[in-house]
Amino acid sequence: MDFSTRKMNVADYDSALHLWKSLPGMGLSGADERSEIEKFLRKNSETCWVAEKDNRLVGTILGGSDGRRGYIYHLAVQSGLQKIGIGKQLLARCLDAFKKAGIQKCHLLVYHDNTTGIDFWEHAGWVLRKDVLIMSKKLKT
């Protein structure tokens, strides 16, 4: 099935949010408001991509980096168009851009109960870490 990929821009926001809300396993928060995503895209213009089919957005990946490690968020493919290679291609675009920027390792967060997501990542060669936990602190209440 035909689809294309290109870098994401802020004009994609409404379609991307609609996609994210339609899928289980996506953790959405205040960090996904338009202004926050716009800021993220400005800082990470090479590593955020969308997939399109028939001129409609059907997939996203947000890659962000602190200059040392890459972090992947919101890899999402429209239900009904999954399992045809869109997620794999989005991931490849993002990882290629990280490699070009000299990033040597990437991390991502995935919910415990997102077995589909975990299986996808393991199939793609990612390792589920048992030696680290994530700790968080809110800076804005």
Ligand X SMILES: CC(C)(COP(=O)(O)OP(=O)(O)OC[C@H]1O[C@@H](n2cnc3c(N)ncnc32)[C@H](O)[C@@H]1OP(=O)(O)O)[C@@H](O)C(=O)NCCC(=O)NCCS
**Contact positions vs ligand X (CB under 6 A):** 23, 25-26, 75-77, 82-88, 108, 110, 114, 116-117, 119-120, 123
Residue showing the smallest CB distance to ligand X in the complex: 87
Q: Which residues of 71-96 are buried (b: 16+ CB within 10 A; e: fewer)?
A: bbbbbbbbeebbeeebbebbbebbbe
**Cβ-based neighbours of 97, under 8 Å, separated by 6 or more:** 46, 47, 63
Q: Where do runs of H (alpha helix) occur along 68-123?
A: 86-100, 115-123
Cβ(8)–Cβ(41) below 8 Å: yes
Classify 73 as helix, strand or coil: strand
- 137 token code pair: 């602190």
Shortest Å distance, C-beta 86 to ligand X: 4
Cβ closer to ligand X: 41 or 110? Answer: 110
Nearer to ligand X, 42 or 122 (CB): 122
Shortest approach of ligand X to residue 100 CB, angstroms?
A: 21
| In the complex, minimum distance from the CB of residue 34 to ligand X, in angstroms, rounded to a whole number | 21
Question: 42 or 113, CB closer to ligand X?
Answer: 113
> Between residues 2 and 102, which has the closer beta carbon with respect to ligand X?
2
Q: Residue 141 CB, nearest distance to ligand X (Å)?
A: 27
